Structure 1
């Protein structure tokens, strides 16, 4: 499949997401007029009708839908009635924090998960294998918000090693590296929380893939040639065991973004998750639609990047692309 076809499919998928999101918000109880009236302390029927006419809410569903899609295509996501700010501006303010959290957690989960899986596969009957299995089961079974609350209580309240909430400390003074270290200090617990469930998945998958590859004929041939276990593992086995992990990482990126919403709520991380929660409570429809659109866009881009990475590390994918 060429890159152009992938882009076409991505555009079709994104359009479908736009239609689905708008439809759900449109047919849900209440609308923007109710939100504005609530912020005004109430409004009579005539005022409510005027608000609906002003914002096009009196138009048929398909007219509103096509108008919304047209605005999105022109990068206009509307105006937040709760924050009194353009939605695009709000999202671009919060998006870097969410991406920083999600990408860091994803990279940590993949790297540590693969390392644990490889080590476990190299010692299938050792104690490390049982440790990885128990760790994976615990990490996969524990809800991400529950893990976050435990870490928060343990390492912020009982043992005050890390900050309780936020992304940075406004009292910290210094240059770029000082502020970067402060942000990294605040990231430790949220990243560990978000990466825990996915680390368990990747460790189990990489272990299973490595066990299958290590039993292959070409691995036995490599050992017969006198190559060390390190060379066999890193140069031959690991390269062929990585594609399933990379594929799963791409497919799970949407789950990472979803998990970030819960983690941000637990740790008051100033990202899209916090913005989404506040907007839902305030019934700020334009902001909710904008966040859903950007979340879908990030996931689709993540899947495209996964396809490109697979083409680089797996010659079989290049041959069928």
Structure 2
């Protein structure tokens, strides 16, 4: 296992290098830059800024300067926020992470329970309801659900805040501050859970249906084992194997932010920063964050391979 992990890490190094060049080169091909996005600048001032920021240098030189900065802990400077990129990302990424991790945990708990039970009660009323819910959840746009919930719970019933992370002008501290943040998180988390539970429940149900029809499940039932032991000890572990791949790809999603939901609820997350950076052509922020997500994707794949062996003893990593 140790040798496999070390070898995978070594293989990941050239993959990251190639990914970094591809990301930088693609952003370099985009027309315009941050200077062009400011129409109030005179041509002389625009030329001075372009020379100052190094936009006139060859792409390969700019790439190596960027890589050298990464190794020295300098990920660039955000033109939009007038701050180092690391400070900008660190300021907003955790706001997205806390919403994503809570949504992920709740989504998986609900999907596993409903998916397994729906597979065990195939074609029942409960299974039909779950199937209807899955397609309904995947069909309704997230921004429509968000606006509808704001209308009902925030405006009409006045039970929850309209948006933001804290109340306007709030000075709460300690436990009251966290409770206030929790109230603002209810609607965004609910929508993310609603959207994620539908497809994942269907995936778990399909995987369970394939497993319970296998010969070893019939053999276990013929031996007289309890149904609960058959389902949760034998069937569920094998049914989770395809789901591990989905869980591994959730790692970059935890930090990427939900752009639409953050816009609807005015949540100060990294998804909103990405959209604003794209509109203002703040490419250092976009390049750094894209590279960070690429690293998390490679790390998630490594986690999936190791988790396969942990869940299924038949799998041997060599």
What whole-Å deviation, never above 9, does each CA across 1:226-255 have from its counterpart, x for those lacking one?
333222222222122111112122235556
CA distance in structure 2 between the aligned counterparts of 1:186 and 1:12, rounded to whole angstroms: 42
The 5 Å alignment of 1:185-204 reads 185-204=183-202
| CA separation of 1:63 and 1:14: change in aligned 2, threshold 3 A | same
Q: Is the 8 A contact 2:138 2:195 kept in 1?
A: yes
RMSD between superposed Cα atoms in Å:
2.5
Pick the aligned partner of 1:164 from 141, 155, 162: 162
Q: Is 2:126 the counterpart of 1:128? A: yes
| CA separation of 1:212 and 1:44: change in aligned 2, threshold 3 A | closer
CA distance in structure 2 between the aligned counterparts of 1:226 and 1:310, rounded to whole angstroms: 29
The 5 Å alignment of 1:205-244 reads 205-244=203-242
CA distance in structure 2 between the aligned counterparts of 1:276 and 1:16, rounded to whole angstroms: 23
CA distance in structure 2 between the aligned counterparts of 1:259 and 1:52, rounded to whole angstroms: 31
Bigger Cα displacement from structure 2, 219-228 vs 87-96: 219-228
Give the TM-score of the pair, scaled to structure 1: 0.87
Give the TM-score of the pair, scaled to structure 2: 0.88
| CA separation of 1:17 and 1:189: change in aligned 2, threshold 3 A | farther
Question: How many equivalent pairs are there?
Answer: 315
Pick the aligned partner of 1:2 from 1, 4, 10: 4
CA distance in structure 2 between the aligned counterparts of 1:180 and 1:221, rounded to whole angstroms: 52
Q: Is the 8 A contact 1:272 1:291 kept in 2?
A: no
| CA separation of 1:12 and 1:271: change in aligned 2, threshold 3 A | farther
CA distance in structure 2 between the aligned counterparts of 1:164 and 1:205, rounded to whole angstroms: 33
Q: Is the 8 A contact 2:257 2:271 kept in 1?
A: no
Q: Is the 8 A contact 1:250 1:303 kept in 2?
A: yes
CA distance in structure 2 between the aligned counterparts of 1:162 and 1:304, rounded to whole angstroms: 40
CA distance in structure 2 between the aligned counterparts of 1:18 and 1:157, rounded to whole angstroms: 46
Instruction: Give the ranges of 4+ consecutive aligned residues of structure 1 lying more than 4 Å apart after TM superposition.
Output: 252-259
- Where 1:2 maps in the other structure, the secondary structure is helix
Q: Which residue number corresponds to residue 27 of structure 1?
A: 29
Pick the aligned partner of 2:84 from 69, 86, 93: 86
Deviation at 1:126, TM superposition (A): 1.0
Q: Is 2:265 the counterpart of 1:267? A: yes
Deviation at 1:269, TM superposition (A): 1.3
Q: Is the 8 A contact 1:144 1:259 kept in 2?
A: no
CA distance in structure 2 between the aligned counterparts of 1:97 and 1:246, rounded to whole angstroms: 26
